[in-house]
Amino acid sequence: DVVMTQSPLSLPVSLGQPASISCRSSQSLVNSDGNTFLNWFQQRPGQSPRRLINKVSNRDSGVPDRFSASGSGTDFTLKISRVEAEDVGVYYCMQATHWPFTFGPGTKVDLK
Amino acid sequence: EVQLVESGGGLVQPGGSLRLSCAASGFTFSSSWMSWVRQAPGKGLEWVANIKPDGSGKYYVDFVKGRFTISRDNAKNSLYLQMNGLRAEDTAVYYCAIGQASYWGQGALVSVSS
C-alpha cells in the first residue's frame, strides 16, 4: 500500500498568518494516463470531512481562494494564505491513484 | 443540494453483523462511483470500499475482505455496507462518500463490544 506522510502533525498558527502542510507519498502518484490523484480534506471539530482540493491543485466548489495546493510525483503542499478562525481542524492528504486509497495521518491546525 | 444520509449504525457484539445504508439525493447516483470511509474514535481516516456506478465492480481494503460487502440499489438511490464478523477494531464512524470523497455524509457510528 502507498504510505502517506504529513508534516507537521501539529501546526499552531496566528490569525491572519500563512500556514503550510507537506504531504509525501511512498511512491509516485502519477498514473499511466499522466493524472495525479492527490486530494486534500479538512475536518473541522465535530464535523464530517470536506474535500478542499482534488487532483493536486483544483479547489472544490465553495472552497475559499486562500487555500491553494501544489506538488508533483511524491511531494505535495497545501497552503493557507491567511488563516481564519474557521480553518481550525485536521487536514488530511489522500491518494487515489493506487488501490487501496490511503490517507495521511492528518495535521492538526489550531490557533496560537 | 447533494445529500448523503447514513443509517443503521449501533452497538453489536464481536462476531455480529450490521448493515449500513446511505440514502443519496441531489446528484445522479446511478452514474457515480460510491465509497465507504471510516474513522475510529480519535483516529484518522481509512478507506473501506468502493463500488462502480452499475455495481459491476467492488473493491475492498484487505482488512475487510471476506467480511464486508458493498452494494447499491440505483432504483432507490441507496448504498449499503453489509458488515459480518465484526471485531472490536471495526469500531468507527462509517461515512458514505461520492467517488473520491467529493461529498460525505454525516456518518454512522458502529460500536463493537461485548
Compute CA A37 distance to the chain's CA centroid, rounded to the nearest angstrom.
12
Separation in Å, CA of A35 to nearest CA in chain B = 14
The DSSP call for residue A44 is -
Check residue B5 and give left, alpha or beta (phi > 0: left; psi -120 to 50: alpha): beta
Q: Is A86 helix (H, G, I), strand (E, B) or coil?
A: helix
Mean pLDDT for A30-59 is: 97
What pLDDT score does A54 carry?
Answer: 98
Asked if A105 is an interface residue toward chain B (Cβ–Cβ < 8 A), one would say yes
Q: Which one of A3, A48, A90, A98 makes the best mutation probe of the B interface by having the most chain B beta carbons within 10 Å?
A: A48
pLDDT in tens, A59-104: 999 999 999 999 999 999 999 999 999 999 999 999 999 999 999 9
Mean of per-residue pLDDT scores for chain B:
97
- CB contacts of B104 in chain A (<8 Å) are 48-51
Residue B89 CA neighbour count, 13 Å, CB half: 3
- CB contacts of A41 in chain B (<8 Å) are 45, 101
- Whether residue A8 has a cis bond before it, omega within 30° of 0: yes
pLDDT in tens, A90-102: 999 999 999 999 9
Mean pLDDT for B23-35 is: 98
Contact by Cβ (8 Å): A51, A28: no
